[in-house]
Chains A and B, each alone.
Chain A
Amino acid sequence: MLSPTIPKTNDYLPFPFDIQNDRLRFQSTTVQNQKGYYDLVEKKFISTQKMKKLIDELKPDNNFEIKHDDSIVIDKIKKRINQNMSFMQKNTRDSYSIKLLRYLSNRFLSSQFEQNITTAILFVDIVKSTNLANTLTPDEMSSLVRVFSQEISILISKHSGFVLKYAGDAAIAFFPIFDNPKEMSQNVIKCAKSMNLLIKYALNPTFTKFGLPEIKIRVGAESGNNQIVFFGPEPDLIGSTITMTSKIYPLADPCQIAIGEEIYKKLNDLQHHFSQIQSDSKKLPYTNSSTGEKYLVYLSKEVFS
């Protein structure tokens, strides 16, 4: 299995973030005296300088985490959201960064076609989005979801993950093992926490400014084996982990994180942030196939509202 290494410096990544040798997608060219890449699918040119800056913004960074007092990161994100919210009224297309992330995700999975890979899976969705859809105009709703999707996609990438797919106001991400399984699990938890803080400190204040309601999210995560398959032209993941995560995440309250027992085991220092679900009403009706015991689910003690 191809297991890329993520350097902890700001150097270019060899894979999956390099694009220089992908001639099926990117063609080196010069336009208006600027060197860069012609994206053969999007049929657009991006200068080398902008591409480098883009990848710098997207590539994983083990030190990255949104904290409530990190005004530099939050201000940067707020500026980006502001800009997009202003443009969203007239623009209805994803930014190039989202298209690139989607391509990188597909390329990563395609490179390991039909293999079983160990990944952490993360589900995130907006709580009570049906109510939102009923109160907002379609344009407002699509602006809100588009900005939300872009920002969580960037966060996922910063935490060494890829977006597998979007489903309306929800997204499914996977976090492969790059260095070691513990790091993968910790990345997912850090990402889930960052997502909640992103909503609280950057997205909601900007939504309010633009007359949109505040949102809350629910996140669920679990790790294990998944099979890479192709349904149609794009790669996908199937397996018990992805299914289990889809059952786990509705158990979280708004602004809370729900995790499965497999990921919990690998958390070490972070385990004390979670407590096992005790209430009968929230018990999962599943058993762990290897132990035959009841499947355990843990909820974050902290609620990020």
Chain B
Amino acid sequence: MMPSESIEFSIIKNFVDIGNRSLLIMGESGTGKKSISLDLAKNVVKDYNVYFITGNKKPEMMYTWYPWIKPFIPPENIIEISSNELISSDPNFLLAEMINRISSTVITIDDPFVSEEKSKKPFIIIDIWDSLTGEFSPQLKMYAEKIVTSLADKHNGFIVFLSDNEEHSSLEQLVDGVIQTTKLYTDNSMMREIVIKKLMGMSIQTSKIPFSFKNGKLNIFSSFSHFKGEPKKFEPIIDSKDRFSTGNLNFDVKSGGGLKKGTVIGIEIDPDVDRYAFVPFLLPLVLNFISQGHSSLISLSSDQNAESYLDHISPHVDDQKLLENLRLYCHTFGEVKSKIIVDRGEEQNFESAHNLWLESYIELKQKQTPLLMLVDYSFIELGYRDNLNSILKAMIENTRIIRHNKDLMIMTSRPGFQTLDVMKSACDVHFRIFDHNGCTFISTEKPKLFYSNIQTDSSLGYPRLQFTDIF
């Protein structure tokens, strides 16, 4: 699914499909109004001929900025009413001119005896509404609004008004839909949002849709999806001399060529985030370790079933490699079926559990190959509340071992847990995964590297993270 074909954005497309006639997109300059209108047009071209009425953009300029509109908006459909005309001409004349232009988009009958093709209706984006009506009296403005919206109905078409002005009391009432584009600033990044104010005939589940741009195209963020498709074997990405590959080339590029050997990575995950987000994040890393003959030692939370955890990994790598290179450290409730699964027992205190953990580490390290250690400390904190000091000490001890042996450690924790503070100070790279308006994002808090929307990419036959940067 293309980002702009997301379920969230489809509500706006469906709003056009069900026979509505007009939409007002308002928002400050640079918030993406044009891109949204063009993206919406791209989604409905099967039924509509798209026209763009603009103030000062010749077709060539539009194609330079939005090259993807070329297949569905021919040059003659980009109608320019120049800035000079807007300044020097009588606005009444320009309004009449624009109405004529819209009227001339009407479908004409060529041969009345020939079976009619399914004719396309006009989809008209008006980018000059502010400059055209700026000097109109309120009465004339309302008259102009009524005339232009009625044209959409008369011609069976759809009209989109783009406006920088955020106060359109009369137009807001006349049109069938109103959406607003906004920018939100977080640290040094900017998040864009579509705020749905009114869409007639639609049941609105989410009133805010986050989005960004990629190569001039709209990127609508959708809620986090799970892996879909046929599982395939994982092809390892060979580590460089100094860095472990994340098993995901996109992630390697974003992290400057992979994760440095001897690094401690901290992942802070907000409580409302789907825990599945860990799977496309960490599975390629684990698979890359195992399939290269490296080791992976993973501590599962007390509510995680080792067998089902293994089900995520086993379809993508040979059984023998799993047996040699993977250890899952967990509660088995007395049913240990595989050498891969290490039972930490139910009644043990943290220290004895930790000793068992270290024994597994030593066992795996006897192969003298690099090792990936994965621990969710918020669950350990939850499981051994009375041993908090020992847990914190063990965290530090683990980081020291990892750094010394040039291995890789991924530790996770959550807000509200004391292990989070230690993790933040002990780790070399701090990732934060969080939700915003139903979409999932990742940012690097230490050092500041990137801020992206994340999604599951299933195209390679295993789940891996797909990043869409927020600018």
Contacts and interface: CB of A to CB of B under 8 A. Distances in A.
Interface of A: 29, 31-32, 38, 40, 43-47, 50, 54, 57, 80, 83-84, 87-88, 90-97, 100, 146, 150
A88 B115 contact: yes
A91 B117 CA distance: 5
Given A31-B103, A31-B104, A32-B104, A45 B109 contact: yes
A34 to B, nearest CB: 8
Nearest to B108: A45
B112 A43 contact: no
A97 B155 contact: no
A95 B118 contact: no
Given A38-B106, A43-B107, A43-B154, A84 B112 contact: no
B117 A44 contact: no
B182 to A, nearest CB: 36
B6 to A, nearest CB: 32
Given A84-B113, A87-B115, A46 B154 contact: no
B119 interface: yes
Interface residues of B, number: 19
B118 A91 contact: yes
Contact of B113 (A29, A44, A80, A90): A80
Interface in B106-128: 106-109, 111-119, 121
B156 interface: yes
A46 B156 CA distance: 16
Given A32-B104, A44-B108, A93 B118 contact: yes
A46 B109 contact: yes
A96 B103 contact: no
A45 B107 CA distance: 6
A148 to B, nearest CB: 13
Contacts of B116: 91, 93-96
Nearest to B107: A44
19 contacts: A43-B106, A43-B121, A43-B154, A44-B106, A46-B108, A46-B112, A50-B112, A54-B112, A54-B113, A57-B113, A83-B114, A84-B113, A88-B115, A91-B117, A95-B115, A100-B112, A146-B115, A150-B113, A150-B115
A48 B115 CA distance: 20
A79 B109 CA distance: 19
Nearest to A55: B112
Given A43-B154, A43-B155, A44-B119, A50 B109 contact: yes
Contacts of B106: 31, 38, 43-45
